Structure 1
Amino acid sequence: MSTVISHPRAYATVTGHAATFVTPAGQSVRLDVAAGDDIRQLIVFHAARHAREYGAPVELVTAGDRGEHHLLVHPDGAFAPADTHAQPPASDTGRHTPRHGTHGKEVSEQAPQSDSPAHTPEPAVESPARPSFLTPAPTVHTRARGWRGALSSIGIRIRPSAAHRRRAEWTATVARQWAGCRTIAVVNGKGGVGKTMTCAMLAAVYAREGGGNVLAWDNNDTRGTLGWRTEPGQYDTTLRDLLPAAPTLLAPTAGVADIAGFVHHQQADRYDVLRSNPELLATDQRITATDFDQLMQVAARFYRLVVFDSGNDESADRWLRMIDYSYQLVIPTLATPESAESAALLLDALRGRDERGAALAAHAVVVVTQPEPSAVAARRIADGFAEHSRAVHIIPFDPALKAGPLRFDHLRARTRDAWLSVAASATETL
């Protein structure tokens, strides 16, 4: 008798902040995370990557200090407890040897059952079905715009357009909540390519649609300008002020509002900014990897999502540590050869750094911003990245992005939709 397992299977044995991950093909990989990070999130990340390769969910079997668990991990990173009732029993006398069948599925042969008669249980008495007294929560729909919105406001229902349906899907995606803090790094080794703009716009989308608790972190040694292009808060504080206060903020007695003295809240866009000090030289505000770890613990304590605005020094401790903590990379570039080449070189360097860097590069989202109304150059750059990243988006020319304060409401409707689409793409791997 044979039993077919409907999904490829991966295994993970967890020990503290490390794990041994065995791929469905039988390859063993060691995974490590920093103190304070959850190794299980990295395990699920790897399982989802293999699910994308197989084009089907992967059954993940984990073992460790929390017992043994069977999860079904989908290509988009979503997971749920796996149905193990159909699996053959594992015993010393009835073990099965897996072999790979077609399409990455495993086929296992089970030892013959004993000839002894089996006890047949009495059939269970089914309870009659009853209706629920609870009313399901209504689905949240985005409001139609233009003439459809005007007609809808007076009670005339018009079928939503394709653009409206896409916008509703993007909005639902970016409003999603996760268990634990997630991080997105906005990176490009060249200055003036739109990193600060991208960080602010993504933070605004996630905070406005997901209900706040989003931090935009200026992780820059060399005159980061995120503080210049966002609203100042009530206190004139920067990352250098937060660092010595970290132990107090991490204490059990710390309150959720205590972080407000160190960040700058954006009233309309609803996210907070952790500033660097652009008035200081880089030598006066460098932080170590240990400092970064402690700051990250504070960020994870008070925020559900952190968007890093990175500096240009890819050798800095804080830049490298940011990559170690990131779940997703967003790489902005202008529609110019120099900034696009810098972005491509960064992707190449990450692919060769280590397995985590290669995974981040493979799933990177590239954002090409039009510095002028013509879209020809932007389309050419975007086409060049199509085979080397997970998604490529073009941000249309918008005067509100060129200089001055960054406010989501100041953008044209077309530009707001473009940023919503970028944010939805970046969320897929979180």
Structure 2
Amino acid sequence: MSHPSTDPLFDPLTGPVSDRPAPETVAPPPVAPPPVDEHTAMRGSHLSPAGPPPTSPPPPPPAAPPATPTAGPTAGPTAVPTAEAPAEPRRFMTATDFLDRRDSETTLGPATWGWRGRVRRWSGGLVKPAMGAKERAYEADRSAIQKDFDGPRTIAFVNPKGGAAKTTGVLAAGYTFGTVRGGGVVAWDNNETRGTLGMRGTRGSHRNTTRELLEDLGRFKDVYQSRIGDLGAFVRSQGDAHFDVLASDERPDVTGVIHASDFAEVHQLLERFYRILLIDTGNNLRAENWLAAAGAADLLVVTSTVREDTGFSGLWMLDALQDAGHENLKYKTITVLSDPSPKVDEGLARDLVQVYEQRTRGVYRVPYDPALVSGSVVPYAELSADTRRSWLRACAAMATAL
């Protein structure tokens, strides 16, 4: 047992420490804070940690803003920045934003068609009726054709039956895309041997074709030295139609055919210089260059006349492509159905429209036009207004599908 005088828990006067009541704690007298100069008071929360302690507990921090503020009906002033959520800079309208907004607010001009257009002209422009439904649709189709693409686009016109209006379709589409878009369009006769696109298009000052281009491809190997003007020795300008034609082989002494590798080289070259490539295919579904064109196309256009044989041939071709593994044919294909004469079997026409609507994105009827059936050079300026309007609608659908 330890001695009381040496036990750390025993006091000689008061007894054991553990038996004593705890002494009351007396707070030190308050100390007045030192005087604060004006500049220190302005700094507020930026006082140095080494400064004097506050005389009262600090106020609680302000409540944090909600994690996802709800935007009001109108834009208010920029929020006051906090340590938890610094304010974002105010969003101002840029010059590009301004132009985009102005473009989206652009309205169509006064009517030029029908009685509305006559009223505007007779009144000397004092009365300006708005466009009717047909004129608005016409302007919408033009806008669709004029859309921008992020690269060249290839459209192949296909039907293994001769006389299915492939060549006239390519030329009419070339005229429409060329005049509405303003150039950058080429129509290419990718026939296995000899096609008629070069004969039906405007004749050029030379007779060079795909065959001569293949023989002289070396001059285009250097992408920094070759120019689109160099292609002028091989393509044929269509004048006011604003597109070019690359004809197929026209030499009777040549027996060779165009292979898949030949197609690939010419296609790659044309993609360097043109934005829209319209390909007139031959009639041999099993030819290498036909299959290469179908595989490279961004869009297939099935052309047919209102005849049972050409309509059947187009459907048979779609069945063959489906069996060969081509996917999404319905969304990659449209149909152009042409009237071969002034009077056609409307019952057959309805059947063809119905079945092709099931197999492709849409069916577009083109009326009979004597300018397209003579077999000679297509006189673009002589195409009827109905023919031009029908092809405008069909080409707008092509551009939309691209």
Judge same fold: TM > 0.5, yes or no. Answer: yes
Q: Distance in 2 between matches of 1:230 and 1:400?
A: 13
Aligned residue type for 1:393: Y
What is the match of residue 407 of structure 1? 379
CA 1:183–1:367: 2 relative to 1, 3 Å: same
- The Cα offsets for residues 23-53 of structure 1, whole Å up to 9 and x where unpaired, read as xxxxxxxxxxxxxxxxxxxxxxxxxxxxxxx
Mapped to 2, the partners of 1:393 and 1:284 lie a distance apart of 38
1-side partners of 2:90 and 2:243: how far apart?
A: 52
Distance between the aligned counterparts of 1:423 and 1:372, measured in 2?
22
Of Structure 1 and Structure 2, which has the larger fraction of its residues in helix? Answer: 2
The answer for the alignment partner of 2:232 in structure 1 is 260
Separation in 2, partners of 1:244, 1:223 = 17
Conserved 8 A contact 2:209-2:250: no
Q: Deviations over 1:57-83 (max 9, x none)?
A: xxxxxxxxxxxxxxxxxxxxxxxxxxx
**For the residues of structure 2 that align with 1:383 and 1:360, how far apart are their CA atoms?**
17
Partner in structure 2 of residue 417 of structure 1: 389
Please report how far the alpha carbon of residue 147 of structure 1 lies from its aligned counterpart in structure 2 after TM superposition: 4.4
Give 3-state SS (helix, strand or coil) of 1:248's partner.
Answer: helix
Secondary structure of residue in 2 paired with 1:387 = helix
Tell me if the contact between 1:331 and 1:366 (Cα under 8 Å) persists in the aligned partners: yes
Contact 2:159/2:302 (<8 A) preserved: yes
Distance 2:182 2:251 in 1: 33
Residues 329 and 361 in structure 1, CA contact (< 8 A), matched pair in contact too: no
Which position in structure 2 is the counterpart of 1:317? 288
Provide the residue aligned with 1:296 in structure 2.
267
TM-score (norm 1): 0.67
- 2:245 and 2:212 mapped to 1: Cα distance? 13
The aligned amino acid for 2:90 is E
The question of whether the paired residues in 1 share the 8 Å contact of 2:228 and 2:273 is answered with yes
Q: Please list the CA deviations of residues 104-154 of structure 1 after superposition, one character each: whole Å capped at 9, or x if unmatched.
A: xxxxxxxxxxxxxx9713223537779999764695958833444444454
Q: For each residue in 1:355-385, what CA deviation from the matched residue of structure 2 results, as whole angstroms up to 9, or x when unmatched?
A: xx23235431111111122351433322232
What is the distance in 2 between the residues matched to 1:208 and 1:221?
A: 29
Unaligned 5+ segments in structure 2 are 1-67, 69-81
The alignment covers a number of residue pairs equal to 311
* 2:245 equivalent to 1:273: yes
> Structure 2 vs 1, CA of residues 323 and 129 (structure 1 numbering), >3 Å: closer, same or farther?
closer
Q: CA deviation at 1:400?
A: 1.2
Q: Which secondary structure does the structure 2 equivalent of 1:280 belong to?
A: coil
Instruction: Choose 1 or 2 for highest CA Rg.
Output: 2
Unpaired segments ≥5 residues, structure 1: 1-85, 87-117
**Alignment match, 2:130:** 159
Distance 1:409 1:149, change over 3 A: farther
Offset at residue 180 of structure 1 (A): 1.4
Structure number with higher strand proportion: 1
What amino acid is aligned across from residue 217 of structure 2 in structure 1? A
1:188-208 CA distance string (max 9 Å, x none) = 010011000111111111111
Distance 2:329 2:350 in 1: 24
| Cα distance in structure 1, aligned partners of 2:371 and 2:390 | 14
Separation in 1, partners of 2:114, 2:148: 30
Distance 2:397 2:334 in 1: 7
State the SS of the aligned residue for 2:211.
helix
Partner in structure 2 of residue 389 of structure 1 = 360
Which is bigger in relative contact order (C-alpha 8 A, separation at least 6)?
2
Task: Give the conservation status (yes or no) of the 8 Å contact 2:193–2:258.
Answer: no
- Output the CA distance in 1 between the equivalents of 2:114 and 2:221: 48
Secondary structure (helix, strand or coil) at the match of 1:313 reads: coil
1:123 has 2:87 as partner: yes
